[in-house]
Structure formats: structure tokens, C-alpha cells
Chain A
Amino acid sequence: MTLRVDPAHVERVARELYIRALKILPPDVKRGFDRLASRETDATARSVLATMKTNIAVAEANDNLLCQDTGIPIYNVTIGRNVLVDGVALTAALRQGCELATREHPLRSSIVHPLTRRNDQTSCGIRVPVIYIAYADDFDGLRIEMIPKGSGSENNTFLRMAIPAEGIDAIKTFVVDCVLDAGGRTCPPTIVGVGVGGTADLCVHLAKIAATRPLESVCADADGAALEAQLSQAVNMLGVGPQGLGGDATAFAVHVELAATHITMNPVAVNMQCHSARRASAVLTEDGVVYGF
């Protein structure tokens, strides 16, 4: 049985995913708020976390967006087994769905030309929405994940091309210093995404994958998993707190993603996700579409 992907269907799904992602926070992030709130010792921080939790409830009750920032739209497509898809049509459909969501909901278009700063009011532009296509052999069908990446956290993205002589200490120090430098500008509590290894561009991409990974997930590499556990504890010793106003809850977690690298290289990148850690997904099969996170 083969799924023949209908671009018109993908367009509707892409539209729906953008709006869903902006309105409903994933359950793992909601649990993350509960964990942070239950152990927060600072009175200001407790009140800030309570406001954030109230906002999640208000957004759902009023069918409204969680945050005003509609983000840079990202679509991560995973093509599973037994799928027939026209890649060019798929890409065009994602773009069209993104524009339809913006016009029809309506949503704020946050996207401008990088030089002229012109806003076409479509949430689309040169190479935006960002679209990544990957492949997997563990399911039949097509999975689309939508991430409206907020700019407050995205503006706190850092790359350091450390060298082998600096070792893993350079990676750890860099992460701590990035969290310190970002302070309240990232809308903490954050998910701190750390990329280690690869080329410079892959390293930053790994950091984005890490920052947008569900909470409670762990790095597939055992050493990477150990590192992210250590870093999660360390950044929460800093006391930056929710919104940078002080407190224990600086980050939900630090996530680490790895790639092999060159013998002369030791790159580390940090990309952060704000507390409104939004994402939505859909799996398309022959039976139809199932929405999730």
C-alpha cells in the first residue's frame, strides 16, 4: 500500500499546523511548567510562572495565540516508507498553506526582506518558510512538524569554533556563558539547544534540533545524554529565572545533539527556545491525517 501525497491536502495541513502550533502548547511543555513551578523557591519567579500557566489556559479557552510572535515558520518533513510524493509540489504546498494561515486566520506576518525590510504580509519570503526534508524507515507515511520559532530566543544564537586543545570544558563554559549573556532576553525558562560537532552550519542546525526537541526526550548518544543532564543542572544554578527577573527556573532543560567532526575542530553552538515552546505535527497516511505535537 502506497500513500500518494496530494499537494492540496498538504496545503490544508500546513495551514492548520501553523495555527495549531501557535495556540496549543505541547503536553510535555505543560508538564515542564508544572515541574518548574513545583520546585521554584523565589516568590517573583513563582508569580511569573503562574502568569505563564494562566496564559496557556487563556489561549486555549479563547482559542487565541499563546504569544504575539508568529515566529519564523519552519516545516520539518519526514518521508517514511511507501510514499509517492512530488517534492516540488510538496514544498509549494507548504508555502501556500503558511500564507493561507496568515491571510485567513489572520496572523501577523513577521517576515521581511532582509535588506529592504519589506513585509509582504504573507509570512513567506526568500527561503521562508524554512523547509527541511528528511527520511525515516520506521513508519509508513509522511510526517510534517511545524515550528513557529520565536525571534526573542532565536536572536540569542551563538557559534564558537573551539579547538581540540580546549576540550569539552570549552563546550560547557560556552553554554553557561550563553545563558548568562542572554539573561531575560530569551523569554526564560528556555530549552537551551546545544549542537556539538559537525561543520559550522551543521553545528548550528543541531542546536536548533536540540532546542525544538520535546521535553523529556534524551540525546541518542550516551555521552551526549550525560552532558545534557549535567548542563541542565548547571544552568539552573545561575538564578537568571523566569523572564530574567531572578529565580530557580532558568531553563526547562538543556538538550544536546551531536555530529561527528573533524580532527582539528571542536565546534559548539547554542540556539534557544523560549518558554512558549511551540510545535505541532501531523502524520499523513492512507487513512487520513492525525494531528499531534
Chain B
Amino acid sequence: MDSERVADVTHHEFSMPVTDAQVRALHVNDTVTLHGLLFGIRDATQIALFDRGRTTRFDLSGHAVVHTAPNVEKVAPSAMHPAGYAPVCVGTTTSMRMERFTRPLLSSLGVRIVIGKGGLGASSLAAFRELGGVYLALVGGAAALETTWIEAIEDVDLDDLHPESLWRFRVRGFGPLRVAMDSHGASLYDTVNGAARNRRAAALAALGVKR
């Protein structure tokens, strides 16, 4: 693991897959850049895997998944595009819809890193703590930039769910991404939401709300 500590924040360069120790070394506000393999999953992918009993031929153990459904172009398979798909625009979707799938992702498939936007909830945070996982925040809507971090679509499974297939990307310099939920029970979203709720009364007072 290659890491550099600046102030209270450590930056990590990860070649995927990662170990339990690497994941548990991460704390919120650290930053991570990924290299190598990254898997793309979405609502329909996880409904198929965890509600409908479908399986994948991919080994996700120790790997990272990103909540995505990319824009792709069908092309002739080649060394550059082994799966017959060229990435057009690969971005990130709102994670919270997929909250209930975090635990099975970790416990059944061995996933260690979940990447998305907007954060996950309490059951995911508990799964991260018990099973050793983290959530990395991508800047949602910054897909043109994110696409430049994707080298190739190496393979695709469950493609009848297209575009919500299970994608295997090869990435280089995917990040830096912020650790927003760690395996020690910390969530930046909880911190921010709590503080925001504490400011609710002041905001309503500024609006002259009486009741």
C-alpha cells in the first residue's frame, strides 16, 4: 500500500483487489485512488443477484464496485475493447436506492469498497463495521471527468439487464475519492445531516416562521 499522510488525512493508492487490513486502515476524509479492476453495478443488477438468485461468473472478492450504468457504444471486440463495448460516458448514480444490497455485496460476494454519490445509510454503516468495508464518495454528475479514468470495459456479465449490467472496468488513476463512510462507524453524511438538522430552527426563524 502506498500512502502519504498530509495533516490528518491520508491519501492511498490502491491496486485492486485490497486486503482487510488495507480497508480497515481507511478513515473518513482520507482519499483513495484506484488502479486495476473496478466493477459497475446498479439497481437491476443487484435485484437480479440478491432477490432473484442469479449468479455472476466474476470474482468480486476484495474488489470495489461503483454504482453506475454507463453510456457505452457497441463496437467490434478488439484488444482495446475486449467486451465489444467502448465507454462513452461512465458516471455515478445515487447510492441510497441500493442501501439494502450493501450487506449481501460484502457478505456474499466479498466486495470491500462501495463507490457512489450521496451516501448510504445505517445498515450499510453497520455492514462496513462488521464485515470490513468502506464507502467512497465520487462527485456525482462529474461523469465526463470520471470517464477519463476508465481505460477499458474488459468484460460484462448479466448484459440482458443492459445498461444495468455487471460491468468489469479497467481503470487507472480512478480518483482521488473521499472516504465518506469507514469501517470504524464514522459517516460524513451522518455528521453533515446532524449539523444541518441543528440549523433547521435558525433557518425557519430567518423565514419568520412562527409555529
Residues of A within 8 A of B197 (CB): 180
Cβ-based interface call for B71 (8 A): yes
Interface residues of A in 71-105 (CB under 8 A from B): 105
Report the bound CA distance from A246 to B72 in whole Å: 33
- The interface centre, meaning the residue of B142, B146, B148, B193 with most chain A CB atoms within 10 A of its CB, is B142
A108-B70, A169-B210, A185-B94 in contact; A246/B117 too (CB < 8 A)? Answer: no
A107-B71, A108-B71, A245-B192 in contact; A58/B144 too (CB < 8 A)? Answer: yes
- The interface centre, meaning the residue of A231, A241, A244 with most chain B CB atoms within 10 A of its CB, is A244
Determine whether the beta carbon of B178 is less than 8 Å from that of A245. yes
Cβ-based interface call for B122 (8 A): no
Residues of B within 8 A of A276 (CB): 141
Determine whether the beta carbon of A55 is less than 8 Å from that of B199. no
Name the segment of B53-61, B125-133, B201-209 touching the other chain.
B201-209
Determine whether the beta carbon of B141 is less than 8 Å from that of A55. yes
Cβ-based interface call for A37 (8 A): no
Cβ-based interface call for A114 (8 A): no
Shortest C-beta distance, B91 to chain A (Å), equals 3
A108-B70, A108-B163, A234-B203 in contact; A246/B145 too (CB < 8 A)? Answer: no
One digit per residue, 1 when the CB lies within 8 angstroms of any chain A CB and 0 when it does not, for chain B 84-122 equals: 000011111110110000000000000000000111000
Cβ-based interface call for B44 (8 A): yes
Interface size bucket, B side?
35 or more
One digit per residue, 1 when the CB lies within 8 angstroms of any chain B CB and 0 when it does not, for chain A 125-167 equals: 0000000000000000000000000111001000000000000
Determine whether the beta carbon of B200 is less than 8 Å from that of A152. no
**Count the A residues whose beta carbon is within 8 Å of the partner chain — how many?**
59
Cβ-based interface call for A211 (8 A): no
Report the bound CA distance from A276 to B89 in whole Å: 14
Residues of A within 8 A of B139 (CB): 48, 51-52, 55, 242-243
A107-B71, A230-B207 in contact; A187/B141 too (CB < 8 A)? Answer: yes
Cβ-based interface call for A59 (8 A): yes
Among residues of A, the one whose C-beta sits closest to the C-beta of B209 is A169
Residues of A within 8 A of B76 (CB): none
Report the bound CA distance from A150 to B113 in whole Å: 25
Residues of A within 8 A of B180 (CB): 245
Determine whether the beta carbon of B200 is less than 8 Å from that of A238. yes
Cβ-based interface call for A62 (8 A): yes
Cβ-based interface call for B158 (8 A): no
Cβ-based interface call for B134 (8 A): no
Determine whether the beta carbon of B71 is less than 8 Å from that of A245. no
Determine whether the beta carbon of B140 is less than 8 Å from that of A152. yes
Determine whether the beta carbon of B192 is less than 8 Å from that of A239. yes
Our count of residue pairs bridging A and B at CB distance below 8 angstroms stands at 180
Cβ-based interface call for B137 (8 A): yes
Cβ-based interface call for A65 (8 A): yes
Determine whether the beta carbon of A119 is less than 8 Å from that of B119. no
Cβ-based interface call for B73 (8 A): yes
Shortest C-beta distance, A230 to chain B (Å), equals 6
Report the bound CA distance from A110 to B93 in whole Å: 12
Residues of B within 8 A of A66 (CB): 141, 143-144
Report the bound CA distance from A150 to B70 in whole Å: 14
Residues of A within 8 A of B93 (CB): 68-69, 151-152
Cβ-based interface call for B147 (8 A): yes
Interface CB pairs A-B, < 8 A, 26 = A51-B139, A58-B144, A62-B144, A64-B89, A64-B143, A66-B141, A67-B91, A67-B143, A69-B141, A106-B71, A107-B71, A108-B88, A108-B89, A110-B163, A152-B118, A180-B200, A184-B117, A233-B206, A234-B206, A237-B199, A237-B206, A240-B192, A241-B192, A242-B139, A244-B193, A245-B192
Given A169-B210, A185-B96: 16 more A-B contacts, CB < 8 Å: A51-B139, A51-B142, A52-B142, A68-B93, A106-B73, A110-B163, A173-B209, A183-B196, A184-B118, A184-B119, A187-B94, A234-B206, A238-B199, A239-B195, A240-B192, A243-B137
Contacts from A to B (Cβ < 8 Å): 44, 48, 51-52, 54-56, 58-59, 62, 64-70, 105-110, 117, 119, 121, 150-152, 155, 169, 172-173, 176-177, 180, 183-187, 230-231, 233-235, 237-246, 274-276
Contacts from B to A (Cβ < 8 Å): 29, 44, 68-74, 88-94, 96-97, 117-119, 137, 139-148, 162-163, 178, 180, 188-189, 191-193, 195-197, 199-200, 202-204, 206-211
